[in-house]
Structure 1
Amino acid sequence: MLHTKTAWLRVAAPVAVLALALTACGGGKDSAGTKGDKKRNAADAPKTEKNPAGGGELKAGQRATGKFKEDSGKITYEVVAQKIHVGTEAEAKKLVSDAKDAKGLVAATAWVKYTNKGGGVVKDMPEVANESEIYADGRRGGLLIGAAEDGPGCEDTIEIENWKVGQSHTICQTYMIPKSAKSVEVHWAGEGQSDSPFIWKFDNAG
């Protein structure tokens, strides 16, 4: 379920360390187009309980499974996008060093739960959450670099150590998206699945 716009947003790091990814929310070869532009490779894609062929659209809370190569080895993860919170433009302006960078934008934070399903122990600083991206109306948002990891229920990857099989951690990502966006999505792709990500869809009802 998408949280509507409220005065709450994650406590942020000092604005001096925050920056927007310049390739997001528009042109550039790193900006993704609509989901219709993405190729689907069902034969190689990871799987969900309702979509055994892999990839495609999922509902909030629906599980997906894929492999990801951590420094300590290739890990099989179960991934669940649980919710998204969308803030206000006024809040977004406080999160960047220059308020002009946030004109027409809002900060969207996604809570994604990862469970180690096999492959070994992740010793420290897992990178699996780096594959989570937030899209608005089919276009990737701008990653908010340096945002704090201390929102309610969010965990800081720096503090995650010895992640054993069967254990779960919830890691949040914050992206800037247009305030006029009608729909918001969380994308995640396992190893070799950049062309066939899992997509959890949320309505922006704020």
Structure 2
Amino acid sequence: MLYRKTALRVAAPVAVAALALTACGGGDGKKDSGDRAKAGARAAGESATGESKEGLVSADYEVTAQKVELGTEAETAKMVSDPEEAKGLIPAVAHVKYTYKSATPLATSPRVSYSSRIWADGRRGTLIVGAADGKQGCEAPRSIKGWKRGESHVLCETYLVPENAKDLEVHWSDLDGEAFVWKFEATR
């Protein structure tokens, strides 16, 4: 299901080689209670329309979270500098389709995917920057130039989530701070 919620805007890049379990709120054992109120519900896979900041301009997008792929603890160990700190965590890759809606072509690499996050059982996961690079079905934002109206691309983000998570959510926040939320069952 898709819910529209107000979200906290937290963006802390984490290097692939260094894991900081608290960078994006993950690993602290606390649930986030400030932005979990329901607004309107929509069907899973349904698109939402919102704005993203692209350089100096705002751009309109149609956004659809397509799926979340779960990995293994062994894959996590290869992504982090200290596998002991990531014990019990697995990678979750959000595949999100973005369709560009603005009239003026996008001149730079898109930043729209930077506003997507994965939550597991009510807790925000830990971002692993660059881990989705080269993943099948995922495009590299750096390779997209001159994005034109009506053109779609699937961009992915990888987060570490607890291995035993049952419910996954993909959140995407627009410029107004509104978050669109797609719910997925954690299936392996």
How high is the TM-score relative to the length of structure 1?
A: 0.75
Alpha-carbon distance in 2 for matches of 1:148, 1:62: 23
Alpha-carbon distance in 2 for matches of 1:69, 1:32: 28
Matched residue SS, 1:60: coil
Aligned to 1:38: 35
Q: Do the aligned partners of 1:59 and 1:201 also contact (CA within 8 Å) in 2?
A: no
Measured at CA, do residues 17 and 198 of structure 1 come closer, stay the same or move farther in structure 2, by a change above 3 Å? closer
Aligned to 1:101: 85
Shift of the alpha carbon at 1:58?
4.2
**Alignment partner for residue 134 of structure 1, among 91, 115, 118?**
118
1:15-26 aligned at under 5 Å gives the runs 17-21=16-20, 22-23=22-23, 24-26=25-27
Divergent runs of 4+, >2 A: 16-24, 55-60
Identity level (%): 45
Shift of the alpha carbon at 1:190?
0.6
Aligned to 2:186: 204
How high is the TM-score relative to the length of structure 2?
A: 0.82
Alpha-carbon distance in 2 for matches of 1:73, 1:83: 29
Shift of the alpha carbon at 1:82?
0.2
- Paired residue total: 172
Measured at CA, do residues 109 and 17 of structure 1 come closer, stay the same or move farther in structure 2, by a change above 3 Å? closer
Shift of the alpha carbon at 1:148?
4.3
**CA-to-aligned-CA distance 1:158-204 (integer Å, 9 cap, x gap):** 111000111111100000001111101100011022xx311000011
1:71 is aligned to 2:55: yes
Aligned to 2:76: 92
Aligned-residue CA RMSD in angstroms? 2.3
Shift of the alpha carbon at 1:60?
3.4
